[in-house]
Amino acid sequence: MRRILLAATLGVALIALPGLAQTPPTKTFPLPNQTFIHDVAPAPGGLIWWTAQSDGKLGILDPKTGANKFVTLGPDSAPHGVIQSKDGKAWVTDGGQNAIVSYDPKTEKVTVYKLPEETGGYTNLNTPTEDGDGNIWFTGQNGWHGKVDVKTGKVSAWKSPKGRGSYGITTTPDGNVWFVSLANSYLGQVDRATGNVKVIEPPVPNTGVRRVWSDSKGDLWMSEWNGGQISHYSPSTGKWERIPLPGNQRANLYAVYVDNRDVVWVSNWADNKTYAYDPKTKSFSSVPGSKANAAIRQILGINGAVYLPESGNAAITVVNTGSQL
């Protein structure tokens, strides 16, 4: 029943894909121009949150109707990342306010958690993640990582190792937090008690690991902006693996996301496609941008659907992955 509902929501045929060889069905939702969508996240009730960076707002797309509502986040707001916490709130990294901003859809209350002044006023806040205790961790691309203690509202910030570059961040199933540095090409393991970071160097330097996502086992998958390959690190074994795109083509991988089937999604700016890699079968499928220069900067989803925010096209493309809901 829920599969039928999703198909109706997307307005596309629900096809049970035998593998990843086929291009899955998609539907693209145009957004208002000039809002500059950056990131997306699933919202309660089947809605989709998205950051309208140029407008300083949180967008709320209803895929059933294609209509959008907007939440004003504050003066000088320029939101970048957004996630949904387990209690159903949106958490936004807001570079313009140098703050983490939460939005509670039940009360429509917006709360601004400013970073400490000693961060210099602008950290270029990037991406949030929720740890196993419900606290919100974040990266600032000027070389910061930090935490919002959701019980006290206290915001802590620490200088990341090696300086600028702190970018994608993720939480593994054990509740721990990892991030990557784009400028300095490392994987960082955060000590949640102290904020200290253990630097783990990839085997190939300067690949520009941009974003990171955990699979269901706690293995970490990274998109290489400079190296153009998918990086895979297993904390349990300490082993690295690099996976090139089909044909060893030139690639600039921006976003990475691991879906509920442990299929790894990466967006490639060089050919305007998003690739899905199944580690079990070592096979790829791909989804083209809805138009040229889709410029997909982040990927997220729910069981049965993957969301592709097309910053270059002012649109969200929803991919129906056909998995069990």
Smallest separation, CB 13 to another protein (Å):
34
Q: Which of residues 196-255 bind another protein (CB under 8 A)?
A: 196-201, 206, 208, 225-226
> What would the x/- binding string for another protein be over residues 260 to 289, using CB under 8 A?
---------x--------------------
Which of these ranges, 9-17, 25-33, 178-186, 298-306, lies near another protein under the rule CB under 8 A? 178-186
Interface with another protein, residue 96, by CB under 8 A: yes
Determine the interface stretch with another protein among 18-26, 153-161, 212-220, 316-324 (rule: CB under 8 A).
153-161
Dist. CA 51–CA 226, nearest whole Å? 26
Question: How many of the other CB atoms lie within 10 Å of CB of 62?
Answer: 16
Q: Which residues neighbour 151 within 8 Å (Cβ) at sequence distance 6 or greater?
A: none
Q: How many angstroms separate the CA atoms of 144 and 155, rounded?
A: 12
| 76, 87, 133, 174: residue in contact with another protein (rule CB under 8 A) | 76
Binders of another protein among 25-54, rule CB under 8 A?
36, 38, 53-54
Strand partners, 297: none
Minimum distance of another protein from residue 124's CB (angstroms): 5
Binding letters toward another protein, positions 293-322, x by CB under 8 A: x-x----------------x----------
| Residue nearer to another protein on the CB measure, 66 or 74 | 74
Tell me if 93 contacts another protein by CB under 8 A: no
The encoded tokens of residue 128 equal: 């949030």
Shortest distance (Å) from residue 289 CB to another protein: 13
Please report the DSSP string for 253-286 in residue order.
Answer: EEEEEE-TT--EEEEETTTTEEEEEETTTTEEEE
Cα angle: 82, vertex 88, 89; to 5 degrees:
50
Stretch that binds another protein, among 64-72, 150-158, 170-178, 211-219 (CB under 8 A): 150-158
Q: Does 72 bind another protein (CB under 8 A)?
A: no
Q: Please name the residues in contact with 164: beta carbons below 8 A apart, sequence gap of 6 or more.
A: 141, 142, 143, 183, 184
Contact letters (x/-) for another protein, 104-143, by CB under 8 A? ------------xxxxxxxxx----------------xxx
Nearest C-alpha neighbor of 185 from the set 146, 220, 223, 156: 223
- Other residues' Cβ atoms within 10 Å of the Cβ of residue 33: 8
Cβ-based neighbour number of residue 25 at 10 Å: 19
- Counting beta carbons within 10 angstroms of the beta carbon of residue 223, is it exposed (0 to 12), middle (13 to 18) or buried (19 or more)? buried
Would you say 43 or 220 has its CB closer to another protein? 220
Nearest distance, CB of residue 131 and another protein, angstroms: 15
The span from the CA of 266 to the CA of 286, in Å, is 9
Contact call for residues 9 and 293 (beta carbons, < 8 A): no
In angstroms, give the least distance from the CB of 211 to another protein.
13
Where do contacts with another protein occur on this chain (CB under 8 A)? Answer: 36, 38, 53-54, 76, 78, 95-96, 116-124, 141-143, 156-165, 182-185, 191, 194-201, 206, 208, 225-226, 269, 293, 295, 312
